[in-house]
Structure 1
Amino acid sequence: MDRTLFAKLTGNLGDQATIAKLGTSFAQVYAEFLPDIIKTETGLEISIAYAGCQSGLMNDLVAGLGGNHAVVNGSLRNWAPKFVLGCGAGFIMTLMEHMLGARPEDMEVAVARPLSVIELDLSVMVFDKIANVLRSAVNASGGFEPYLEPPRNVEELPTALGDENDDFAAAITMTISLGKCVSQIVIIVPQRDLLRTVVSAPRAKNPTAASQAWSEQLSEQVRRSQVTLEARIRLQSLTLDTISKLEVGDVIPFMDNTGDVRVEVSANSKDLYICEFGRSGENYTVRVKDNVNSDDELLRHLMN
């Protein structure tokens, strides 16, 4: 039997009108509750709007996100054993800039690109908020928390090997706006689970005073992230004629050949420390002598 026809007969593939109605219901819940969550915890104002709902095979829908999206695979017991959340990289980049102290009037629209390792680390909390609204909207029995895998850039996802376990799914797309940035959040759910869902708005909670808890979490995530360091040592000036004739085994002296050799250590092209070159046992080392930037300036730069 044709796969599409079989899916329709077994309730695993719905018509476009039904899928669109469910997508609109999800978007209404997100538009009502996600901005309040972000506002309460960060003091920032966002807006959510329904952008459409697309039906298709799950692998195709994920691939259809295109580049510059972060995605997570998730599951929620008693609702869906697998679903995918997507968020435009631009929103995450802009949110992090705000949280690390950038002034709104100085911020430009983020240039679309895959997220850095640090930004992916920080996006964990963004997806946590998105997943918690989802859990409240579907009201799955048992009160279980969503399980989310670590976020990845969509470009880093492995290529699907086949369609044997590729479910018919729906991609619910919403725009999410923060300042000048307009990006997307996407929920991709197998229709088998979506068509059995009754979407209900969670009960509103009493708003709490805005706190810096989320901001502190973001800073802590940055501080725990691994950063690749680079060290630069200046060499003595040579003429282009001399440089063009260098051969294997030739030696170029350091610029500082009479005392401690100055080393400039950087990360993401940002100078961090002034160091001196040395050796410990069999390993070459650098010893920190001075800081170039404050902690706040450094954290803000490493996000870019």
Structure 2
Amino acid sequence: MSGLATMDDSRALVIERLVGDSGEASHVIGAGRSMGERIVSPLQKRLSNEIGAQVSIELRTVEVSRTIDARSQAGGNFAMTVVPSSTSSDALTMVMDAQAVAVMICGLFGGDPDAAITPIERDLSPLEADIATLVFEEIAQALNGSGKRSLDLRFPVPRAMSGQEARRRVLRDGAAVRLVFGLSTPTESGAVTVMIPQRVLLTQRSGAAEDEEAVAKTEWQERFSEEVMRSAVTLEATMPLARMTLGDLARLHTGQVLEIEENAQARAQLSARNKTLFVCEFGKLGQNYTVRIKQPFDAGQDFIDGLMPG
């Protein structure tokens, strides 16, 4: 809780622990499948060409699950790591079963791909944990993505834990999507389980939706502004007449002639819908009266001029 910055974060955590922060199952599975399928090809190329492990990778399963079930299908010996991001301390929980570790050992160290692989029935050695960490790093790099839809994971990933440390590690409960990747040779196969909390997945997807909504909103504003610019308004030009007291105004009568101030013609104001736009000057061109725009109207200066008449 110490890492939560606001009451909203605390409230969201409490709600998640009580009812689970989850979305519609079909939407969550679709988003998870899209992420999983996207990384299979580049991950296969990375494992084969750059790391040198002659193994095949496939996306086996995408399903709605709980984060605490990450180890449920890994058997007694497995490697595990929890990868944080900028918004979550457990953005990815990855578990690699012993069979997958054995497959990677065989692939990395030149084992005969057609020969049977001896299963690992003990706690993983430090070297085997390092290999699992290498696989976790590659998967996390591929899943992280880039741009607005990035998970913003923190790298390098924490070193894989195994044995009692991995079995006793307390996982934060919550709704998640489970991605199961298969690592295999012609004779053996294992699995790497990736758990992505739905609160992380939904935040990523909602961020992308907000971007799309912002683009649509901008387009709508541009179209609306264009239509507004085409609308017609009535312009009014007014010329100041004279200054007088309320008493003088009360004594005005029908037929009385008022004198226009000497420079009033140069202090006309052009307005539309009761909003003054420009300071203008009255004139005449042939038989028609004209208004020549002098400068934009300055409401602040006009207020000061009203307080301190020239």
Q: TM-score, normalised by structure 1?
A: 0.53
Distance 2:169 2:43 in 1: 32
Structure 2 equivalent of residue 150 of structure 1: 159
Q: Select between 137-146 and 20-29 the one with higher mean Cα deviation.
A: 137-146
Contact preservation (8 Å) 1:173, 1:184? yes
Residue pairs, 1:14-25, within 5 angstroms? 14-25=23-34
Structure 1 equivalent of residue 89 of structure 2: 81
1:197 and 2:194 matched: no
Residues paired across the two proteins, number: 194
Residue pairs, 1:269-284, within 5 angstroms? none
Distance 1:194 1:66, change over 3 A: farther
1:166 and 2:173 matched: yes
| Deviation string, structure 1 residues 114-165 (Cα, Å, up to 9, x no partner) | 422221123222221111111127865697643422212265335477x9x5
Contact preservation (8 Å) 1:171, 1:189? yes
Distance 1:102 1:47 in 2: 15
Distance 1:81 1:112, change over 3 A: same
1:110 and 2:126 matched: no
| Deviation string, structure 1 residues 214-268 (Cα, Å, up to 9, x no partner) | xxxxxxxxxxxxxxxxxxxxxxxxxxxxxxxxxxxxxxxxxxxxxxxxxxxxxxx
| Deviation string, structure 1 residues 4-33 (Cα, Å, up to 9, x no partner) | xx5599992123212221221122122121
Distance 1:62 1:138, change over 3 A: farther
Q: Which secondary structure state, in structure 2, belongs to the residue aligned with residue 81 of structure 1?
A: coil
| Deviation string, structure 1 residues 72-99 (Cα, Å, up to 9, x no partner) | 1111225x43121122222222222332
Contact preservation (8 Å) 1:31, 1:47? no
Contact preservation (8 Å) 2:52, 2:107? no
1:188 and 2:228 matched: no
Among candidates 95, 98, 102, match of residue 93 of structure 1: 102
| Deviation string, structure 1 residues 259-300 (Cα, Å, up to 9, x no partner) | xxxxxxxxxxxxxxxxxxxxxxxxxxxxxxxxxxxxxxxxxx
Among candidates 145, 169, 182, match of residue 175 of structure 1: 182
- Aligned CA-pair RMSD: 3.7
1:12 and 2:9 matched: no
More helix by share: 2
- In structure 2, what residue type is equivalent to 1:14? G
- In structure 2, what residue type is equivalent to 1:193? V
Q: Which secondary structure state, in structure 2, belongs to the residue aligned with residue 188 of structure 1?
A: strand
1:40 and 2:56 matched: no
Distance 1:144 1:153, change over 3 A: closer
Contact preservation (8 Å) 2:83, 2:154? no
Distance 1:56 1:94 in 2: 26
Structure 2 equivalent of residue 60 of structure 1: 69
Per the TM alignment, residue 39 of structure 1 is displaced from its structure 2 partner at its CA by 1.6
- In structure 2, what residue type is equivalent to 1:92? V
Larger of the two Rg values belongs to structure: 2
Which sections of structure 2, spanning at least 5 residues, go unmatched?
1-11, 209-310
Structure 1 equivalent of residue 141 of structure 2: 132
Distance 1:8 1:153, change over 3 A: closer
- In structure 1, what residue type is equivalent to 2:100? F
Contact preservation (8 Å) 1:12, 1:195? no
Per the TM alignment, residue 190 of structure 1 is displaced from its structure 2 partner at its CA by 1.4
Distance 2:98 2:148 in 1: 28
Q: Which secondary structure state, in structure 1, belongs to the residue aligned with residue 70 of structure 2?
A: helix
Q: Which has the higher contact order (CA 8 A, sep 6+)?
A: 1
**Percent of aligned positions with the same letter in both sequences?**
19
- In structure 2, what residue type is equivalent to 1:46? V
Contact preservation (8 Å) 1:109, 1:180? yes
Contact preservation (8 Å) 1:174, 1:184? yes
Contact preservation (8 Å) 2:106, 2:113? no
| Deviation string, structure 1 residues 163-213 (Cα, Å, up to 9, x no partner) | 9x522222221222234221111111211111223499xxxxxxxxxxxxx
